[in-house]
Amino acid sequence: MAPPLIRLDDIHLTFGGTPLLAGASLMVGPGERIALVGRNGSGKSTLLKIAAGLAEAQSGAVFRQPTATMRYLPQAPDWQGFSTVRAYVEAGLGPADDVGRVALVLDSLGLTGEEDPAALSGGEARRAALARVLAPQPDLLLLDEPTNHLDLATIEWLEGELSRSSSALVVISHDRRFLERVSRATVWLDRGVTRRLDKGFAHFEDWRDRVLEEEEREQQKLGRQIAREEHWLRYGVTARRKRNVRRLAELEALRARRRTHRGPEGTALMAAAEATESGKLVIEARGVEKRFGETVVVRDFSIRIQRGERVGLVGPNGAGKTTLLKLLTGALAPDAGTLRLGTNLQIATLDQNRAALDPDETLAHFLTDGRGDSVVVNGQERHVVSYMQDFLFKPEQMRTPVRELSGGERARLVLARLLSRPANLLVLDEPTNDLDMETLDLLQELVEGFPGTVLLVSHDRDFLDRTVTSTLAPEGGGRWVDYAGGYSDMMAQRQGAALPGRRARAPERPARQQQEPREEKRPAARKLSYKQKFALETLPGRIEALGGEIAALEQKLADPTLYSRDAAAFARFTETLDAKRAERERLEEEWLELEMLREEIEGG
């Protein structure tokens, strides 16, 4: 077996209070591909810096293979002393590295090398930093959030580059799809310690849930054991004194285990403040155009967005996603065409640059707009500390300046303020940046269950697939096309449209009305059968009824005392809930197929 490139054993680090690292370990062998995962603030970046030699542990052993080459990608690169991107990238080469690879990698990433580092956009800066670590082809790559600010095309290029590379890899990322494609092992950093799964990230979440369930069972067993020992202490028949002293000592040890046990980290409680319902028509654009100088960003664009739709915008950096978003919400006037906004709109916007954050402002002042220590959510006044705790902030952070927050904490803070404002149209520009996966799951549920309308710009393919009902994508020359479904659906429709002999998409017909490739194999129907018509009329009612049953079951399972009171009932409700959700999903798919068939017949 080849010696490891790097090995960290029993790493401890504390910055006052709860230890950040409390016995963490990490071992990387040649060619290994490891996803390092964990909650925001769990110490992932710190552990990676210790591995790279940029931070020191208070205790523990660190071994680095002396002959191995290593490159580390930080979240915030240091550009000082470099006049061009090429100079910055070449500074990362070693004596034996091929300088010719610099131009090759820069070109693949869409950079010339002559750019001024001080004038780079977020995406350009990330690509330049990637070029610096990829050009040397080291034995080990340590990548901290490599996909942040990258567009989808660059993320997919990076996946291919890492797959072809012989370098070992440790990567931190919130992008599920990226981790699934590049990892072959997973290290979970949780409450200061690490656990390793010798499978890629695709298997991680099921494994993590099993580990946490087993831990919960162990804590319940410990509680029962303590209760038995305490009962003996109070009511048991006194035996020999030495035996009593031993049992007392064992009881104290059990109590100490329970006191020192750190349970799983809390979960943010995300819910959007309710607003009055908007009109059925939310946005209507007809022949909208926008140009900047000679560059046409949006050309002859038309769309109708109705209440309840969730529209995703994708495309390369610079394609005009944010411009189109501003046009659709009326924040930017079109050069041609007309835009009509629906009635009774209340818009809440999350800006990708977190422009609303003042680094010197405190958390409490930001959330309350400086109006005391209370925040009003859904018409109810809450103390700002209570509301902060919903988003995993500690009470002592109330007076903390924004500049001291991590990237993930800043993202949660902006979401906390956004969701406290009543809105029926959510405009989210790159909302997933810097969020950990647990918070991403909650944001996904919030977007899916939002009763109003959502406009969403994102490069996170998994998030788009899970949330949006249609996807807007640029097709060149300022032309934008509306596709039914999420990112994967859009890609399937694009590939299907390119097949030889396939009829070209009519320009005037929105893509969301196109049939997916699999539908073209179905024989054309002249009319719906009686059974199909009956199903089309009755399915919505059945789906709605299932929704009520699911909500009732979810309310029962939300009782924090249910499991301890009646574990059998908890298991029964959970099993029923899974079955109801599966049935609702089946009925929704059946209704969608019938509705698409009806549209095809009426349109034909």
- Grouping H, G, I as helix, E, B as strand and the rest as coil, residue 566 is coil
Q: Answer yes or no: are the C-beta atoms of 539 and 519 closer than 8 Å.
A: no
From residue 495, how far is each of 126, 377, 459, 582, 592 by CA, in Å?
Answer: 29, 45, 20, 29, 22
Of 166, 194, 198, 165, residue with least CA distance to 34: 198
Q: What are the angstrom distances between the C-alpha of 164 and each of 100, 161, 349, 392, 591?
A: 19, 5, 40, 39, 43
Q: Is 315 annotated as a binding residue?
A: yes
Both structure tokens of 374:
């209370």
Query: What SS3 state is found at 41?
Result: coil
Which H/E stretch holds residue 276?
none
Q: What token pair was written down for 537?
A: 């009329």
Which tokens go with 366? 């930001």
Burial of 594 (0-12, 13-18, 19+ CB in 10 A): middle
Cα atoms in the Cβ-side hemisphere of radius 13 Å centred on 72: 16
Q: 604: buried, middle or exposed (CB in 10 Å: 19+, 13-18, 0-12)?
A: exposed
3-state secondary structure 92-156: CCCCCCCCHHHHHHHHHCCCCCCCCHHHCCHHHHHHHHHHHHHCCCCCEEEEECCCCCCCHHHHH
Nearest to 138 by CA among 13, 224, 30: 30
- Give the residue carrying structure tokens 């399972």: 557
DSSP letter string over 402-430?
GGGS-HHHHHHHHHHHHHHS--SEEEEES
Is 43 annotated as belonging to a binding site? yes
Q: Establish whether 39 is an annotated binding residue.
A: yes
Asked if residue 41 belongs to a known ligand binding site, the reply is yes
Q: Which of 106, 21, 32 is nearest to 68 (CA)?
A: 32
Tokens of 384: 């700002």
77 assigned to a ligand binding site = no
C-beta of residue 536 within 8 angstroms of C-beta of residue 528: yes
Give the sign of the dihedral formed by CA 491, CA 497, CA 498, CA 499: positive
Query: Is residue 223 within 8 Å of residue 231, measured between CB atoms?
Result: no
16 marked as part of a ligand binding site = no
326 annotated as belonging to a binding site for a ligand:
no
> Please, what is the Cα angle at 288 between 284 and 293, to 5 degrees?
150
d(C-alpha 103, C-alpha 121), whole Å: 20
Locate 534 and state its tokens.
């009956």
Task: Note the residue count of the chain.
Answer: 604
Q: What phi and psi values does residue 500 have, to the nearest 5 degrees?
A: -60, 140
Q: Is 42 among the annotated ligand-binding positions? A: yes
d(CA 485, CA 467) in angstroms, rounded, equals 9
Whole-Å CA distances, 143 to 99, 140, 169: 22, 10, 8
Where does residue 531 rank: exposed (0-12), middle (13-18), buried (19+ CB within 10 A)? exposed
- Please report the DSSP string for 113-125 in residue order: S-S-GGG--HHHH
DSSP 362: B
316 known ligand binder: yes
Backbone angles phi, psi at 252, to 5 degrees: -65, -35
Rounded Cα–Cα distance for residues 444 and 439 (Å): 9
Binding-site positions read: 38-45, 315-322
Binding-site positions for ATP read: 38-45, 315-322
